[in-house]
Structure 1
């Protein structure tokens, strides 16, 4: 059920009385340098953790994908963070998380430094198993999840995998999940992923190729049911590095509501040369490097009606602005879907 939450959202709200479902994605910066450290920080009310919880509670999503949160085997950190949201007045009792590929060691020397066991020798970059993982929190029950994260890169049709890549290399740098949210209007499939950035490699463009193929995966796994593609593809369709073909192809199957933020920083440095609309940006990066980019997306399928959307990037004078700045260099992205359209698209 849609609820206006702040000045940003009020100006983008849908028709009065329209019943909607708010779906969001956000990298809350809840990753640390070692296992157990996130749980420690949650339990001691670390200001950055509290800021992230404040941002999510303010946005009041019905379901949210977190693309930057450490995973632990017993789900203790996720449960503790969910308790913070409950205390902040926005309970999200249903959750899903699974072991990601980030930090999962291959036993191989993938980076060629003569040693195995480093962060770059894992299936996805990570200093420990579960670093910088994903999680889904929901106000509504979740159905059985399908975890595609064990898919091998070379098994993707048309994969751009460099020839020297080991055959056991998984495609997902973090994860690929299909998790249904069970609504009164029927299930809505959340197709979630968080991709490797298409930089930090050599002329073989391994990361750029993998980033492309992580998006291309969904071209072969779209369900015959209502869905939303969401997460951090780590790709700006207008600016920055990367191969945009797969993301562009996904927009033949899903709509882009182009969520906009209320505030854009000064367009200095690299930002001044960007071609994209700065109101669509979702993350703050070094103006002497890539500049601010749009890398976080919520893309509902074509049959779903969008009532409103936004990027939670408030004006500096907004009471929420300090929490947004303190939590993460990413901004929360949300889309409101009309429940009538979700009901109508069931059984297609």
Structure 2
């Protein structure tokens, strides 16, 4: 375990050094492609943008004006990073929200940044806020956000959306919104907490799991998007921690061997996991840090240690190091490298954590990766700020990938 003193000293020294190429947390520019070698470079990002609202319809209202400051900040953050494909978590589901944000914010240059065009969008329902009709939290009452199939005050709250510069094969998308938790062999369902009637309907996904195939120069990359529940806000039964673990495990099984994924079925009637050899990128806020925080031991390592997942480059930033040192508190007791943090939980007990991931398959090369977290002396620090945050408590995470011409 890293001592409080040594972690703080390391954090301050990394800030002083500027972390070399990490600098402001801005993505490096990809080198020009060799026309003789038809490799395809792809920048993939994930961003929990906190574009959720407390009432149904509020997000549509905010996005319809074109001048909502938070939405402008989210759009500018994406414009500065310029990903080819981006998953946004915490984006309330209601038809039309995805187009309002794309056309009125992403396509419009924000504060000197160039607008960005995403011709292709995937947006679908999620489980958050959908009433279960059961007393899932066992408080003696039925109803309210904690008795939804996923925590939420209305259906679609905390949803997600995928934007892409490359074509999305909509007919081949697989969703797993209704896959039942009880149908995962060896699941971590807390014993005795849920009734048989509840488990007969209880979905694994607190939001949904999506396999979104993207055609990049004639080669398919499966964007595997999800947002597992936070492993907190429960009791000794650890129902949320256990669900978080199994939501992460789902992708590990999905990209594993045919035997690993044999139990899986999708909302379209298909069965089995991803075919061997397919390219993929796991993206999203997984609410699990490799060593710190409250997730079940080993939860995210199910992906980080997976033989088909490429972890050769870990996204990092100098801004995360700076804020961990300035905030102190729980950060000083963390074992993880503060450079890898992706969320600023300065207002909460866990400290800052690495919870947002872009994890490609081993068939994709990682050229570069980073976290959009500028230091406080950078003009773009205004996009991340300090609590209460101007945009989100999470940071955009990106990776530059290469699809080898021979793959």
The answer, yes or no, to whether TM exceeds 0.5 is yes
Is 1:68 matched up with 2:75?
no
Change (3 A) 1:228 1:309: same
Q: Gaps spanning 5+ residues in structure 1: where?
A: 1-5
Is 1:47 matched up with 2:75?
no
Q: 2: distance between equivalents of 1:317 and 1:344?
A: 43
Q: What is the SS of the residue equivalent to 1:8?
A: coil
Q: What is the SS of the residue equivalent to 2:99?
A: helix
Is 1:103 matched up with 2:122?
no
- Residues 284 and 291 in structure 1, CA contact (< 8 A), matched pair in contact too: yes
Change (3 A) 1:288 1:27: closer
Give 1:94's aligned residue. Answer: 120
Q: Which of 152, 160, 168 lines up with 1:134 in the alignment?
A: 160
Give 2:394's aligned residue. Answer: 330
Shift of 1:16: 4.9
Q: 2: distance between equivalents of 1:202 and 1:178?
A: 32
- Residues 26 and 374 in structure 2, CA contact (< 8 A), matched pair in contact too: no
Cα shift readout 1:122-181 (whole Å, capped 9, x = no counterpart): 110000000011110111110131001110001012100013322111100111010011
Shift of 1:319: 2.4
Q: 1: distance between equivalents of 2:210 and 2:351?
A: 29
Superposed structure 1 runs of 4+ greater than 6 Å apart: none
- Residues 24 and 373 in structure 2, CA contact (< 8 A), matched pair in contact too: no
Alignment of 1:281-320 (within 5 A): 281-286=341-346, 289-320=349-380
- Residues 312 and 331 in structure 1, CA contact (< 8 A), matched pair in contact too: yes
Shift of 1:241: 1.0
Give 2:142's aligned residue. Answer: 116
Change (3 A) 1:319 1:185: farther
> How many pairs are equivalent?
335
Q: Which of 286, 290, 297 lines up with 1:233 in the alignment?
A: 286
Shift of 1:208: 0.8
Alignment of 1:176-195 (within 5 A): 176-195=209-228
Scaled by the length of structure 2, what TM-score is found?
A: 0.79
- Residues 270 and 287 in structure 1, CA contact (< 8 A), matched pair in contact too: no
Is 1:77 matched up with 2:97?
yes
Q: Which of 147, 158, 163 lines up with 2:186 in the alignment?
A: 158
Q: 1: distance between equivalents of 2:348 and 2:49?
A: 23
Q: 2: distance between equivalents of 1:318 and 1:195?
A: 32
Q: Which of 68, 72, 78 lines up with 1:56 in the alignment?
A: 78
Shift of 1:20: 1.4
Q: 2: distance between equivalents of 1:313 and 1:301?
A: 25
Scaled by the length of structure 1, what TM-score is found?
A: 0.92
Q: 2: distance between equivalents of 1:51 and 1:172?
A: 29
Shift of 1:232: 0.9
Q: 1: distance between equivalents of 2:382 and 2:73?
A: 8
Pick which of 162-171 and 141-150 moved more. Answer: 162-171
Shift of 1:113: 2.9
Give 1:173's aligned residue. Answer: 206
Change (3 A) 1:16 1:91: closer
- Residues 13 and 308 in structure 1, CA contact (< 8 A), matched pair in contact too: no
Is 1:198 matched up with 2:222?
no
Cα shift readout 1:265-300 (whole Å, capped 9, x = no counterpart): 142000011111111000000365100000000001
- Residues 133 and 174 in structure 1, CA contact (< 8 A), matched pair in contact too: yes
Shift of 1:14: 4.8
Q: 2: distance between equivalents of 1:43 and 1:157?
A: 45
